[in-house]
Structure 1
């Protein structure tokens, strides 16, 4: 695990969010810092505020109160369009034309567009896209239409796309959603290799399942009803007691060879 104190890439200080129309509290007094080289898991029940936090550090939403700093820039004092271009974001809900071949999908990460802007991609950019396909172990998908790729292949293409901007921060919003077991394991290994190959990269992964966490995960944040229940080194946070408090039912937590397993504690 990476326990060093790298530079802060995202900091939330006293952050709260309320729904404008109803005044409903979405996040309440959140303090949290992500540093370079750290790999965070963001966990909690549905409605706990995980996606809202991801939108804040992804510069796609603003806090009601408190401050958010991302890559040294405070939200509200920076052109968020330029800031977003420096943050890698992966979500299975991203719009990708199904007929676009894998290499073109990755190229769109350079221009930040849905469709390729072919005139903006010189030879160096095109070669970088090929190199990322190789790094993510999907170079055979260069000419394959996105629409016929498996869920796991699509996830790795989207990660390669996000890395085109060479971000210091990579946000992954439920990247394992709807993956079968082999695809899930391939993606977990991809995340492990990515952490090894890019020691300065910080990642935040939203997930519902501990089984989806790669051995590279170094830290965890537990959310419940919009508040931080626990945050810190993964071994200190993913415990039986804290997971039980977070999800409101007995949870047994075990770890083997760097991988996590959670199950209901009242099962025989």
Structure 2
């Protein structure tokens, strides 16, 4: 009997993919599928050390799912993801999460109602949610006071979590997220639910943070262009899980691109580094999809 020659004998071992050390998020042809439905993808996206990104799009666009993958909370269904230089699926996700500061409604729901704000913030440095029997240094408390003051929440230091308004909770979560001096800061609608004064105070702080060369890379989700702080450098527009546009923020947040994402004529303006959007005055009727 003749010998059968197969390609397996000559096959070379596959070289595992690598990433650029300056990329804190490196997604390549990533998809996220649940129940047979593709919620995100395919998406290729990179976030560098000194970049500040905003991810925007209508409800159901896939923003939160994308950010959960970027914060090492979810595994992709397809494609390759590197976070902080580590390949997702080939490293301990807990170590990755400890180096990422995150604010989100999911974090807020896990906080005990009777937790003191000061303890909630200071415990972030130890990767736990709230204080138990740990002893903290005076330096830890001083840092907690400083970050609470920076976000306009120093007066909440001794308050219980369950007594805070939605806007107050948002400020405290931002303080907790930056308490750890993270390499990557991910903000999921940080200004949602705030009154005008509280929102502007927070956006002022986030704008200062965005312009600080020593600050971590920042990725923020928002529904509203008005909630994008000055100083953000890049943007991604999503619609139904697909990228409408991504890149430098001025190139992405145009009337044409935003109109495509929201399926209606939208006018976008930029006033001293802040973006504003409204429906075109000549438009009649509506094509927005809830």
TM-score, structure 1 normalization: 0.91
1:121 maps to 136
Residue 255 (structure 1) shift: 1.1
Mapping of 1:10-49 within 5 angstroms? 10-19=25-34, 22-49=35-62
Segments of 5+ residues of structure 2 without an aligned counterpart are 1-19, 284-290
Note if contact 1:6-1:36 (Cα within 8 Å) is conserved in structure 2: no
Distance 2:244 2:151 in 1: 34
> Which consecutive segments of 4 or more residues in structure 1 shift more than 6 A?
none
Q: 1:199: Cα distance to partner? A: 3.3
Equivalents in 1 of 2:21, 2:272: separation in Å? Answer: 26
SS of the aligned residue for 1:117 comes to: coil
SS of the aligned residue for 1:119 comes to coil
User: Which structure would you say has the larger Rg?
Assistant: 2
Please give the residue correspondences for 1:122-161 in structure 2 after superposition, counting only pairs within 5 Å: 122-161=137-176
Q: Distance in 2 between matches of 1:88 and 1:28?
A: 24
Q: Displacement, 1:6? A: 9.2
Give the corresponding residue for 1:74.
Answer: 87
Q: Give, in whole Å, the separation in 2 of the partners of 1:260 and 1:219.
A: 13
Aligned length: 262
Name which of 102, 108, 124 aligns with 1:109. Answer: 124
1:154-208 superposed Cα distances (whole Å, 9 cap, x missing partner): 2221111112221111111111222121111111112112223453411111111
Structure 1: tracts of 5 or more residues without a match: none
For the Cα contact (< 8 Å) 2:103–2:190, is it kept in 1?
A: yes
Aligned equivalents of 1:73, 1:177: Cα separation in 2: 31
Distance between the aligned counterparts of 1:88 and 1:115, measured in 2?
15
Q: Deviations over 1:2-58 (max 9, x none)?
A: xxx992111111101111xx3111122201011112111101111111011100011
Distance in 2, Cα, partners of 1:241 & 1:260: 14
Contact (CA 8 Å) 1:89, 1:162: kept in 2 or not? yes
In 1, Cα distance between equivalents of 2:105 and 2:190: 6
